[in-house]
Amino acid sequence: MSESLPAPPPPAPAGVIHDIGYRHYDGPRLGRGHAAAALAVHSLRGVFGLGRTARAKIIPFVLFGIMMLPAVVSIAMMAILQERGVRYTEYAIVMQAIPAIFLASQSPYTVAPDLRFRVLPLYLSRPVTLWDYVGAKLAAMTAALFLLTAVPLTVLFVGELVVDMPGAVRTSEYLAGMAGALALSVLLAALGVAIASFTPRRGLGVAAVIAFYLLSTGVSTAVGRVLEQAGDFAAASWAWLISPFFLVDAAVQVGVFGMDGSGPGGYPEGVGVAAAIMIMVGLIALSVVALIARYRKAASR
């Protein structure tokens, strides 16, 4: 066609749908980090039932509501009775059943469907690696638990500032409580996700995690009480550490921040603090190793 003879453009008919055919994508392709972050956010939303059915939202939000109650009551007590309620560092321990149920009911959701419905190969056929996948899932569960445990503390702290109680504001106790909440979230998430990852069945995962919680708490209390009755308080102080909630209390809130313990008895001191920290970090590391091993096996199938 000659360029010197431009054909008059035909009048474009209005309101016609054109099949523009396949279009290639030449926009940006972000790295693994973005994909892993997107996966973590997707999982975190899923843990709270966002983007899922209404039924999936019930348990997380009801638990979240219950978790908020002591904060609300404490603020009311401060405002009306001028009396302090629950302490920051004992909040998660007093309410420990709630984070435990939350962990048991929600951590299987983060991993089980991908195994059961075999979505995992789709992730692994993309730039995302096993480490990214496991990291994103752990980050999501940790963030969810941290929201559950830290939001009430923060609301309580804001309440305390607003009510303006006589005496100093318990800022250092609040910070210790927040650090404890973070450590607890990491530990519980690692344990919960690791346990849940061993079964593609969600119900079984829920049962396994709750069994783990009941067992560790039960053994910790039973052994501790027996040893106390026998008069061996030093040994009893170690027995409490079998419960993950008291372990974090001993390692972080008491050990690192020097707060009063919230356990049923005293915690080991001196070397015991270092040991508690080591046990906590060791448990987290062990969980991550178990997760990676589990997924190595799942991926090779």
Partner 1 sequence: MTILATEELTRSFPRVTALDRLTVTVGPGVTGLVGANGAGKSTLIKILLGLLEPSSGDAQVLGMDVRTRGAEIRRVVGYMPEHDCLPPDLSATEFTVHMARMSGLPRTAARERAADVLRHVGLYEERYRVMGGYSTGMKQRVKLAQALVHDPQVVFLDEPTNGLDPQGRDEMLALIRRIGAEFGISVLVTSHLLGELERICDHVVVIDGGRLLRSSAIAEFTQATETVTVEVEEGQDVLAARLAELGESVTADGRTLLVRVRAPETYDALRDAVADLDLCLIRLEQGRRRIEDVFKEPADV
Q: Which of 65, 69, 126, 269 binds partner 1 (CB under 8 A)?
A: 126
CB of 33 to partner 1, least distance (A): 9
Residue located via tokens 């009480």:
225
C-alpha radius of gyration, the chain, whole number: 26
Residue 296 near partner 1 by CB under 8 A: no
Using rule CB under 8 A, residue 129 touches partner 1: yes
> Which residues 57-116 are close enough to bind partner 1 by CB under 8 A?
113-114
Q: Does 300 bind partner 1 (CB under 8 A)?
A: yes
Question: x/- string (CB under 8 A) for partner 1, residues 207-246?
Answer: ----------------------------------------
Name the segment binding partner 1 (CB under 8 A); options: 35-43, 85-93, 214-222, 287-295: 35-43
Q: Which is nearer to partner 1, 18 or 164 (CB)?
A: 18
**Helical pair 97-116 and 202-229, crossing angle rounded to 10 deg:** 150
Tell me how far, at minimum, the Cβ of 118 lies from partner 1, in Å: 5
Q: Binder to partner 1 among 7, 13, 17, 53 (CB under 8 A)? A: 53
Q: Which of 82, 118, 232, 285 binds partner 1 (CB under 8 A)?
A: 118
Q: Is 29 one of the binding residues for partner 1 (CB under 8 A)? A: yes
**Rounded to the nearest whole angstrom, what is the least distance from the CB of residue 148 to partner 1 in the complex?**
22
Residue 292 engages partner 1 in binding (rule: CB under 8 A): no
Binding site for partner 1 (CB under 8 A): 21-25, 27-32, 34-35, 38-39, 42, 51-53, 56, 113-114, 117-119, 121-129, 299-300
